[in-house]
């Protein structure tokens, strides 16, 4: 790693100030960032560790909305259970030691094209809360590793509407434990949303055709006539674009069946 300074602010305001330095980088749990730094793929001047910011910790349920502090670990979300499909998703990220460090804001800020949380946020219609504004999930994800965040902006919390029914199905790529394909299905009061991770070169995306069919008939058979185009799907040594496109439909069906 190239060397850098480490700052541990105690409040969001202090963190925002610390992020004001050129090439400062926010540090969540570091489970992606530290390996990236070891490969010298990034050279921040300063890491602003967010794990000591008390305002960014914890989970609160307000009616049908779950608010999760940005510095909340995967293990804490897994243990919470107020939004069962989300807790189940968190319980399957990485391995136990990774889940004890990795955070929800870290995952969403990185927007890895095969990460699990982006699918949950997009399918649930979550709101990403930063130190300056609120961003709807539909506007937040802008492609592989790309988000609506501005330079120095910090995700302080995420607000999830708790759906009537939801499920996440992850086809695990066993070496990385990321999703080869993951599909999150959420049945909300105003319709069904389906978000797919791991499959596309554009990162997480909504499968709107399936959403239409499932909003009329929330059963796996509603997907029978549909197919997913392999255009712009990821091809790598773990699976071809055609294989991933096929998996999207299979995993969506499984998620619907499990959520029903």
Site size toward another protein (CB under 8 A) is 27
Q: CA-CA distance, 32 to 208, in Å (whole number)?
A: 30
For another protein, which stretch binds (CB under 8 A), given 26-34, 81-89, 141-149, 191-199?
26-34
- Residue 54 contacts another protein per CB under 8 A: no
Least distance between another protein and beta carbon 136 (Å): 32
**Interface pick for another protein out of 95, 150, 151, 231 (rule CB under 8 A):** 95
Least distance between another protein and beta carbon 1 (Å): 4
- With beta carbons less than 8 A apart as the criterion, state whether 93 and 173 touch: no
- Residue 22 contacts another protein per CB under 8 A: no
- Residue 81 contacts another protein per CB under 8 A: no
| Residue (41 or 189) nearer to another protein, CB | 41
**Interface pick for another protein out of 101, 206, 246, 254 (rule CB under 8 A):** 101
Least distance between another protein and beta carbon 62 (Å): 28
The CA radius of gyration of the chain, in Å to the nearest whole number, is 18
- Residue 35 contacts another protein per CB under 8 A: yes
- Residue 47 contacts another protein per CB under 8 A: yes
DSSP string covering the chain, please? ----EEE--SSHHHHHHHTTSTTEEEESS-TTHHHHHHTTS---SEEEE-TT-GGG--EEEETTEEEEETT-BHHHHHHH-SSHHHHHHHTTSS-HHHHTT-BHHHHHHHT-TT-SHHHHHHHHT-EEEESS-EEEHHHHB-STT-BSPPTT--EEEEEEE--SEEEEEEEE-TTT-SEEEEEEEEEETTEEEEEEESSBTT-SEE-HHHHHHHHH--SGGGGTT-----TTB--BTTB-HHHHHHHHHHHHHHHHHHH-
Q: One symbol per residue from 157 to 186: x for binding another protein (CB under 8 A), - otherwise; what is it? A: --------------------x---------
Least distance between another protein and beta carbon 95 (Å): 3
| Span between the terminal Cα atoms of the chain, in Å | 48
Least distance between another protein and beta carbon 26 (Å): 13
- Residue 8 contacts another protein per CB under 8 A: yes
- Residue 190 contacts another protein per CB under 8 A: no
**Interface pick for another protein out of 9, 69, 70, 94 (rule CB under 8 A):** 94
C-beta neighbour count of 225 within 10 angstroms:
8
- Residue 231 contacts another protein per CB under 8 A: no
- Binding residues for another protein, rule: CB under 8 A, are 1-6, 8, 27, 30-31, 34-35, 37-38, 46-47, 49, 51, 75, 94-98, 100-101, 177
């Amino acid at each position: 790693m190239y060397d850098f300074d480490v700052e541990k602010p105690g409040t969001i305001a202090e963190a925002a100030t610390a992020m004001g330095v050129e090439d400062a980088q926010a540090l969540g749990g570091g489970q992606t960032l530290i390996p990236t730094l070891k490969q010298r793929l990034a050279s921040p001047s300063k890491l602003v560790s967010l794990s000591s910011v008390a305002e960014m910790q914890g989970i609160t349920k307000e009616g049908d909305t779950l608010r999760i502090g940005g510095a909340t670990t995967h293990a804490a979300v897994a243990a919470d259970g107020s939004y069962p499909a989300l807790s189940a998703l968190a319980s399957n990220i990485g391995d136990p030691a990774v889940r004890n460090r990795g955070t929800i804001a870290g995952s969403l800020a990185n927007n890895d094209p095969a990460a699990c949380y982006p699918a949950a946020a997009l399918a649930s219609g979550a709101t990403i809360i930063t130190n300056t504004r609120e961003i709807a999930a539909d506007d937040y994800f802008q492609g592989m590793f790309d988000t609506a965040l501005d330079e120095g902006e910090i995700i302080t919390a995420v607000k999830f509407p708790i759906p009537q029914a939801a499920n996440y199905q992850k086809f695990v790529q066993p070496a990385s434990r990321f999703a080869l394909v993951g599909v999150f299905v959420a049945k909300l009061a105003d319709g069904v949303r389906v978000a797919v991770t791991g499959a596309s070169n554009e990162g997480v995306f909504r499968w709107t055709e399936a959403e239409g069919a499932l909003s009329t008939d929330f059963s796996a058979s509603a997907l029978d006539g549909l197919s997913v185009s392999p255009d712009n799907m990821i091809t790598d040594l773990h699976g071809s674009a055609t294989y991933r496109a096929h998996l999207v439909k299979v995993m969506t069906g499984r998620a619907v069946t499990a959520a029903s």
